[in-house]
Structure 1
Amino acid sequence: MNAEKPETNPMDVDDVQLLADYRNGNAEALGLLVEKYKSPLFGFIYKFSEGHEDADEVFQEVWVRAIKNMNRYRQKNLLSWLFRIAHNLMIDRIRRRKPTVSYDTPATDDGVAVSDQLASSRLGPDSESGGRDLGLRIEAATQNLPLEQREVFWLRMQGGLSFKEIAKVQKCSINTALARMQYALSKLRNDLGDEYRELQEAG
């Protein structure tokens, strides 16, 4: 009796090997790549989308474009390349809809404004939901950042990209990427007050 083949964990397989397998006709390799980077990529896209359905549409389009150009891909960091594709797609969509976001703009489905979220009860070290609350407050605060600064912040904090990689995504110099991050952190420090220290510890 043949033993069942153990399920492959995409995190255990090198990108170079998966790309080589896909180029050789192994469709499963592509599925492993999608699964491997689904969490950071979808999470990043969601931060700049109008909801889950909108984010899912962009996520799928990122992979459609990636597949079309997979044979020409020669970079070292696949996730950075996927972020760059997502960046270009989202810039196009944002330009088409030209949104305006301010502290008085509802930031959540229940209509709570960013200013109201930031003015909610302060976090305490003994709060069971402290980490989750801080995450929600940070996400709300970033909505008031200029697009370029908000993108740098999430590429760094959620995507884990280096500033060299972020510069490639945004098509700017490393110094510009660093400056955008500094401006973003400065504004978040003003908005979050004492909670900013927790953000620094998390980063």
Structure 2
Amino acid sequence: MKEYTLSDAVLVNRYIQGDEAALATLIERHKQRIYSFIFSKVFDRDISEDIFQDTFIKVIKTLKRGKYNEEGKFLPWVMRIAHNLVIDHFRKGNRMPKFEDNGEFSIFSVISDSDLNAEKQLIKEQVEEELRNLIQELPTDQREVLIMRMYKDMSFKEISDKTGVSINTALGRMRYALINLRKVIDKNNIVLTN
């Protein structure tokens, strides 16, 4: 009971000193938030479970090696690990994650670039603005699918129903939208890294 009143930092230190129960308390305290975050990106319970487990395996390894130095910022640190594992999952499968409609459209979420570390990337307003303008230049059918998928988080089935085209056509339009964006980015020498 009293372990629940201890701060994350105290529990982390206790775990590092050999108190296994301290880690169990940390996991119990934050599991809902971390799992929900992972599930909101992958929409698959089994994959979410795997990524959740991998997240805490990484947490344990880092703590055991004495490499943890995020004093008082345990949850943001774990969320960053989970976020990176989600990105790794999509890179491996070469599939597109779903993104929340939070009004922020980030091209880094769409363009898979193995040299790009999304966690450390600070996106400049100017680049974002240029990219939003480039999206407007896409052919209407491609732009429409890209916006429905990325901004509105619609499934390809929903996009297919709304636009009156087959799911394969919707998928094709999304693919061409991304290809065209990449071409325009290359042509305009837009640099996506700092």
Give the TM-score, by structure 1 length.
Answer: 0.50
Deviation at 1:83, TM superposition (A): 1.3
Give the RMSD, CA atoms, in angstroms.
Answer: 3.6
Q: What does 1:32-181 align with in structure 2 at a 5 Å threshold?
A: 32-70=25-63, 71-76=66-71, 77-100=73-96, 148=108, 170-173=119-122, 175=124
Structure 1: tracts of 5 or more residues without a match: 1-6, 102-106, 108-137, 151-167, 193-203
CA contact 2:9–2:74 (8 Å) conserved in 1: no
Question: For residues 54 and 107 of structure 2, what CA distance do their matches in structure 1 show?
Answer: 21
**Conserved 8 A contact 2:3-2:22:** no
Q: Please name the residue that 2:140 is paired with.
A: none
The 3-state SS of whatever aligns with 1:79 is helix
Deviation at 1:27, TM superposition (A): 0.5
CA separation of 1:95/1:27 partners in 2, compared to 1, >3 Å: closer, same or farther? same
- 2-structure distance, mates of 1:68, 1:169: 22
- Work out the CA distance in 1 between the residues paired with 2:94 and 2:47: 15
Equivalent residue letter for 1:170: E
Pair 1:22 & 2:10 matched: no
Deviation of 1:99 after TM superposition, in Å, equals 2.1
2:144 equivalent in structure 1: none
Kindly, what percent of the aligned residue pairs are identical?
A: 25
Give, as a single letter, the amino acid of the residue that structure 1 aligns with 2:7. D
Distance verdict in 2 for CA 1:96–1:19, change over 3 Å: same
Relative to structure 1, the CA distance from residue 100 to residue 23 in structure 2 (aligned partners, 3 Å threshold; closer, same or farther) is closer
**How has the CA–CA distance of structure 1 residues 38 and 147 changed in structure 2, closer, same or farther, with 3 Å as cutoff?**
farther
Tell me the residue number matched to 2:178: none
CA distance in 1, matches of 2:96, 2:49: 22
Asked if the contact 1:59–1:86 (Cα under 8 Å) also holds between the matched residues in 2, the reply is: yes
Shift of 1:50: 4.0
CA shift for structure 1 position 44 = 0.5
* Residues matched between the structures, number: 123
Distance 1:24 1:98 in 2: 40
Look up the equivalent residue of 2:76 and give its one-letter code: S
Shift of 1:146: 5.7
Within 1, Cα distance between the matches of 2:52 and 2:18?
A: 23
Q: In 2, distance between residues paired with 1:148 and 1:39?
A: 27
Contact 2:42 2:48 in 1 (8 A): yes
